[in-house]
Chain A
Amino acid sequence: MSFNSFSEFLSMGGHGLYVWLSYGLGVIIILGNLIAPLQAGKRLRAQLTRRLIRESKGS
């Protein structure tokens, strides 16, 4: 443990802004990279399924 209290942990010895900004951006980019393909996959599956059903009805 390199911090004695939670407020000390948050302030990061005066560098809190930089450390937390970096880690915030890290979380955003990592989550973005997971959520974007997940949603794209869902949309794609829905779209392809709809088209298949339409085609099977049409024929």
Chain B
Amino acid sequence: MADSKWMPRWFYQLASPRWCYQICGKLLPWFTVAALALLIGGTLWALIFAPADYQQGNSFRIIYLHVPSAILAQSCYMLMAVAGAIGLIWKMKVADMVAKACAPIGASLAVLALLTGAIWGKPTWGSWWVWDARLTSMLILFFLYLGVMALNSAIESESTAAQATAVLALVGLVNIPIIKYSVEWWNTLHQPATFKLTEKPAMPAEMWVPLLVMVIGFYAFFAVTLMMRLRNEILRRERRAGWVKELLLSK
């Protein structure tokens, strides 16, 4: 770790829990403000100003929650696997903590994507659940999150748990594209060319701009909740360190 010169300095600073705790504390207010502004503004825009879809009417407005949460659930898995890999390769404690903090957030976002997808299905397809390719893939992603969380809580030693879940997350990451492809293919085999929820040929700007705002807002929100969890995790694991004792007693 010490000898490689090609890694930038911040990479090693990130490895220091103390530095990471402080930088997260400094960034948190900015991200919170950005997340709140984007999410509230985006929601108002989506609910009041965006036009209704000519086919689906106002139920189309669910897209502004469904798509961002689905995108975030996938990005979160990717971040979890990459952080896990960094933890495995460079034995970086902070990366392990990031990976651990990712799992519950990603699982909750997958739940949101599933629930909104199911609710959206009712006015569109007439039933609360349809074995649509995207919904099924999201369900499987949710299962992958559950597996990672179950493994992490089953292993007592913290460093072993982090390494084991990192391996599992990486295996899952390799599998996600295969699962997505196979499920899509299975879907076309059984339900030829049904009405797709989110695949619009060309969405007008007044529809996709608020969607973009919501996606960015969700990313900001994700950063906020991730940093909050990360700070808790750093405090918990570094509770024997001098700087944590100073920090706690100074208040």
Contacts and interface: CB of A to CB of B under 8 A. Distances in A.
Interface of A: 1-3, 9, 12-16, 18-19, 21-23, 25-26, 29-30, 32-34, 37-38, 40-41, 44-45, 48-49, 51-52
A15 B236 contact: no
B245 interface: yes
B34 interface: no
Majority secondary structure, B binding face:
helix
B59 A18 contact: yes
B105 A15 contact: no
Which bracket fits the contact residues of B?
35 or more
A32 B52 CA distance: 29
Contact of B244 (A1, A3, A26, A48): A48
Nearest to A33: B225
A25 B225 contact: no
Contact of A33 (B59, B108, B236): B108
Contacts of B236: 44, 48
Contacts of A32: 108
Contacts of B123: 15, 18
A18 B62 contact: yes
A30 B248 contact: no
B135 interface: no
A41 B116 contact: no
Contacts of B177: none
Majority secondary structure, A binding face:
helix
A44 B57 contact: no
A38 B32 CA distance: 13
Interface in B49-70: 49-52, 57-59, 61-62, 65-66, 69
28 contacts: A1-B48, A2-B49, A12-B59, A15-B57, A15-B58, A15-B123, A18-B122, A19-B47, A19-B58, A19-B59, A19-B62, A21-B119, A22-B65, A22-B116, A22-B119, A25-B112, A25-B116, A26-B69, A26-B112, A29-B69, A33-B108, A34-B221, A38-B228, A44-B235, A45-B248, A48-B236, A48-B239, A52-B245
Contacts of B61: 12, 19
B58 A41 contact: no
A47 B236 CA distance: 10
